[in-house]
Amino acid sequence: MTTLFSLAEEIRRCTACPLYKSRLLTVPGEGSSNAKIMFVAEAPGEEENRQGLPFVGRSGKFLDELLKIAAIEREDIFITGACKCHPENNRTPRVSELKKCKELWLDQQIELIKPKLVVILGRSALKSLLNKNKLSELQGKKITENKQQYFITYHPSAGLRFPKIAKIMQEDFKKLKKFL
């Protein structure tokens, strides 16, 4: 039987796309195996690549602030990336990389965890999970596709770069609190 742990072990050995060549560590994800909420972001950053854990850098600190707004404890959720390996030079993952990682790993993680809500953080995660590109049109909304509920917002790194987006994300996490 596949578990999150056994899946993470398989992810650590993955060579299915070129991203494995530039990674230090894969970042399968972290959190509760029976989480009601799952967060899916883009791909590991440099610090995540070094530690093998999601959201441990500056974006992680901002995400922790946002989780407090929504009264969500980090240990109660599962956090992962649409891609499990760090793209060289912090580039955006290619569609082919997103697709491969979704087919091999992300779909299985969602199936194992069975979250009530998947929070999509940013455009790459939106492209991976829902095959949509227009984050601005879906941001702050809860939608249902294939019997799964999704809430869409920006990636925390965008909030760090742009104060306007940080404010929008804070409002999104207030909405998220109401949905829970």
**Residue 134, class by beta-carbon neighbours within 10 Å (0-12 exposed, 13-18 middle, 19+ buried)?**
exposed
* Residues 164-176, mean pLDDT to the nearest whole number: 98
pLDDT for the residue 179? 87
The DSSP annotation for 11-22 comes to HHT--SSGGGGG
Both tokens of 90, joined, read 């912090």
Residues 86, 67: Cα–Cα separation, whole Å: 24
Coil, helix or strand for 30? strand
Q: Quick check: pTM over 0.85?
A: yes
pLDDT for the residue 1? 86
Model confidence at 174: pLDDT above 90: yes
Both tokens of 161, joined, read 């770069």
Q: List the alpha helices (DSSP H) in the chain.
A: 4-12, 46-51, 58-69, 95-101, 107-113, 123-130, 135-138, 156-161, 163-179
* Residues 114-136, mean pLDDT to the nearest whole number: 97
Coil, helix or strand for 168? helix
The DSSP annotation for 87-120 comes to PGGGPPPPHHHHHHHIIIIIHHHHHHH--SEEEE
Residues 83, 127: Cα–Cα separation, whole Å: 12
Residues 10, 5: Cα–Cα separation, whole Å: 9
pLDDT for the residue 180? 84
* Residues 51-75, mean pLDDT to the nearest whole number: 96
Both tokens of 22, joined, read 């530039």
**pLDDT-above-90 percentage for the chain:** 97
CATH architecture label of 4-179: 3-Layer(aba) Sandwich (3.40)
Residues 76, 59: Cα–Cα separation, whole Å: 19
